[in-house]
Amino acid sequence: MLVLTRKKGEEIHIGDEIVIKVSELSGNRVKLCIDAPEVMRILRGEVAERMNAQADAVSSDQTSGKSSARFVSAS
């Protein structure tokens, strides 16, 4: 893992197509602008983890023969 320190307005370039720019600092938060090709999927860490957990659950249901369909009755 590469760890970098950047100031407001500074950029990080990844390859030829991805640029990450520090746009705002506020307390312990940082706002990043990411310029990447539209076909590249960019997710926040917690969203990616949730999607991976859901995919793992579906995969384990399929290998154990359980249906992954969920039904909710309207009352």
pLDDT confidence of residue 75: 46
pLDDT confidence of residue 66: 59
Helix (H) or strand (E) run with residue 20 in it: strand 18-26
Amino acid 10 reads E
Ordered DSSP codes for 32-43: EEEE--TTS---
Domain residue spans of the chain: 11-57
pLDDT tens track, the chain, 75 positions:
999 999 999 999 999 999 999 999 999 999 999 999 999 999 999 999 999 998 888 887 776 665 555 555 554
Contacts of 43 (CB under 8 A, 6+ apart): 51
pLDDT confidence of residue 56: 85
pLDDT confidence of residue 60: 78
pLDDT confidence of residue 67: 53
Distance CA 14, CA 37 (A): 12
State how beta strands 11-14 and 29-35 pair. Answer: unpaired
